[in-house]
Amino acid sequence: MHRDRPVRRRAGPGCGRPARLVVLPRRVRVIAEPGRYIVGPAAIAVATVMGRARREGHWWYYLDDGLYGAYSGQLFDHARYPVEPLRDGAERLPSVLAGPTCDSIDVIAENLMLPQLKVGDLVVGRAMGAYTWACATEFNFFPKPTVVAVNRGPGDPGGVTALAP
């Protein structure tokens, strides 16, 4: 027996276009895992500059998080997370963001134009809501990043609560 099933199709979050119904033949099996699409924008990661070095014309900034931590999606899923420092500066310099492990692949981003950062400055990774903490490891004894919930729902005035690992 041939039955068609309606499926809602969206153009993307915040696109301003309404969802529409698409009819697929019953023999078509849809398998979807929309985790990153749905919850990716729900979280940010904040890392601290632990060290810095000038190497081959680039500033290398070593953060307290990296590919073995919250940025593991870059390694395992080929995800790319937008990163930005919480420091302004008129002059932008060629820079590299690296993780803390001293492993040669622990590089978050290369060829970024960033203001000159100092130890203690913060770097924000955006769209970090899917698979980041769940896939993080404690490679070279660096602990997983701490997860905190800031707003629990609409109208919540906010607060910070550490989540147990």
Per the annotation, the verdict on 102 as an active-site residue is: yes
CA–CA distance from 100 to each of 62, 69, 97, 105, 120 (Å)? 6, 10, 10, 11, 14
Task: Extract the runs of DSSP E, i.e. beta strands, from the chain.
Answer: 4-9, 20-25, 45-55, 58-63, 83-85, 93-98, 107-114, 122-125, 148-149, 161-162
Residue among 1, 28, 90, 102 flagged as catalytic: 102
* Structure token digits, residue 6: 């309606």
Give catalytic residues, as residue numbers. Answer: 102
